[in-house]
Amino acid sequence: MRDLIIIGSGPAGLTAAITAAEHGLDILVIDEYLKPGGRLLGQLYEEPGGNWWNGIEESRKLAGRASSLGLDIRLGISVHNIEQIDGSWLVHADCETFETKSLLLATGAAEAPVAIPGWTLPGVMSVGAAQVMTNVHRVKPGQRGVIIGVNVLSSAIAMELKIADVEVAAIALPKTNQVNGKAANPSEVMNALLHVSHMAPSPLVKMGSKLMTNDFMKRMGITLYPKNGVRMWDIPVMLRKAVIRIEGTDQVEGVTLATVTAEGKIIPGTEEVIGCDFVCIAGGLYPLAELAALTGCPFYHIDELGGFVPLHSEDMRTPLDGLYVAGNITGIEGAKVAMSQGKTAALAIAKDHGQDIADTSLSEAVRQISSTRSDAHIQFHSEVEAGRRKLQEYWEQHAAGMRNVMV
Amino acid sequence: MTERILDHPVLGVLEPDQTVTFTFNGMKYEGRCGEPIAAALLAAGIRTLRHHEESGTPRGIYCNIGHCFECRVEVDGHQGVRACLTPVREGMVINGGGALPSPVRDWRKDNA
């Protein structure tokens, strides 16, 4: 039996593995991907100050440190069930079943799809798929693409495609449907974009800062927004056009766009077809928490964190003995936050294994999560801190409830 | 069609790797040893990995990281293998699945 199994070798899982190994724990890391690094692998952006955040390089550093510590990392292994029996965790993988005292779930995030007519055609992929193809496998997803969904992730990846000399014909909204709500509403999307104005190109910010001072001006802003979009890194960002259909017989040949009102309603007669050979759907990220759901761990839906998250404390403990979480399974944030969560989780686990971890070093690690969050270059949700506070309140309520039961 | 990104302004030059030969639907292709099947096929201009079991419509990768199972293919006789996660190896025999028989539905068309 292992001391600790970590599921997921992304920034959270690898950092946790390194920290726990430094404290003498016997660890196994499992990941179903063929390389360590998780979604850190695909990341590539310029930080303020001109340094490039190169996910492949960062992953290599983490994996290098892990291997110098002699960590056992097994790739290409899928976990399909976990259960707790007699105080230990059984991890059922496709090849065998592993047993461990402690289990850390660092499974990351998944991308929410947006159903649009034609979306099953070959050539339609999630925006993350295009990122991985381009930056990790170095294969162009196509010659000319259209990105559906205007958000932080899609803007960042549009830029990455451009760097790799892949043409992005447009970034446009999805057609409004019963589930996509805000993501198809031009005014709401504009608000969200202005929050990440440090990433957006100057024309959008200039226009936005003038127009976003009050609700009336916001409506005016989106009403006056150029129909053919504002160019961001020379890519038209169309907040007044939505993709209503993906065209093609055997594979993607183009998309049909239509002009929409400030509320996202299609204006009849404005349809136009533009040609492309691939389409990226950017529906946003949500915590990939299925394995935690198998354990009976309580869940809460918190919009600011991207969806349902397993209940956990600031030091990454869940209410279940020996079960911990770190990274995007706890809420959608950047890789650096995931790393600091991984470190914190490892310290909590080492402490629970009787290692000499000072309370101050654990609380310092928790503080570092917050400061990493404040310094983050990319923020997926403007109110992420409020989301974290909400979850902390649920945790305190849960802990108080447990105390009452004990009494 | 698609192509490999040999020289990337930030990530640099793609390091040469061992070439492997495999077959997909009976045709011979080359890939870089260890890259996912889906990447090797896309680099060869192949987007359609299978046809849907019920409708027969074409499908390719969607999420590219193992979540969605849209890229499932048959590899060396094993069904339901994700082309986005599985490294391509020398001599691999890969087949994209097609529409499966639907005798009950077909019977209902004429009889129910």
Give residue-wise pLDDT tens across range A255-279: 999 999 988 899 999 999 999 999 9
Here the ipTM equals 0.95
Give the ranges where A196-289 is alpha helix by DSSP (H): 202-211, 215-224
Query: For residue B85, which residues of chain A lie inside 8 Å, CB to CB?
Result: 32-34, 76
State how far residue A289 is from chain B, nearest Cα, in angstroms. 12
User: What average pLDDT does range A199-213 have in this prediction?
Assistant: 52
The pTM (predicted TM-score) of the whole model is: 0.93
Q: Looking at residue B2, what is its pLDDT?
A: 63
Q: What percent of chain A has pLDDT over 70?
A: 92
Instruction: Please tell me if residue B21 touches chain A, with a CB cutoff of 8 Å.
Output: no
| CB-neighbour burial class of residue B112 (10 A; exposed 0-12, middle 13-18, buried 19+) | exposed
Closest alpha carbon within chain A to B70: A120
SS3 call for A235: strand
Binned at pLDDT 50, 70 and 90, residue A226 comes out as confident
pLDDT digits (tens, 9 = 90+) for A66-107: 999 999 999 999 999 999 999 999 999 998 999 999 999 999
CA distance A321 to A327: 19
Nearest to A180 by CA among A115, A268, A247: A115
Query: For residue A125, which residues of chain B lie inside 8 Å, CB to CB?
Result: 60-64
Q: How distant, in Å, are the alpha carbons of A203, A231, B84 from that of A227? A: 15, 11, 37
| Residue A202, pLDDT above cutoff 60 | no
| Residue A404, pLDDT above cutoff 80 | no
State how far residue A294 is from chain B, nearest Cα, in angstroms. 17
> Cβ separation of A39 and B14 shorter than 8 Å?
no
Q: Looking at residue A45, what is its pLDDT?
A: 87
State how far residue A254 is from chain B, nearest Cα, in angstroms. 14
pLDDT digits (tens, 9 = 90+) for A122-155: 999 999 999 999 999 999 999 999 999 988 889 8
DSSP string, B8-71: ETTTEEPPP--EEEEEETTEEEEEETTSBHHHHHHHTT----EE-TTT--EE--SSSSSSS-TT
Instruction: Please tell me if residue B79 touches chain A, with a CB cutoff of 8 Å.
Output: no
Both ends of chain A: CA-CA distance in Å?
A: 34
Instruction: Please tell me if residue B15 touches chain A, with a CB cutoff of 8 Å.
Output: no
CA distance A50 to A199: 13
Strand partners, A230: A237
Least confident span in A117-131, A209-223, A375-389, B24-38: A209-223
Binned at pLDDT 50, 70 and 90, residue A347 comes out as very high
Q: Please count the residue pairs, one from chain A and one from chain B, whose beta carbons lie less than 8 angstroms apart.
A: 109
Residue in A32, A122, A124 nearest the CB of B66:
A32
Query: For residue A130, which residues of chain B lie inside 8 Å, CB to CB?
Result: 64
State how far residue A314 is from chain B, nearest Cα, in angstroms. 28
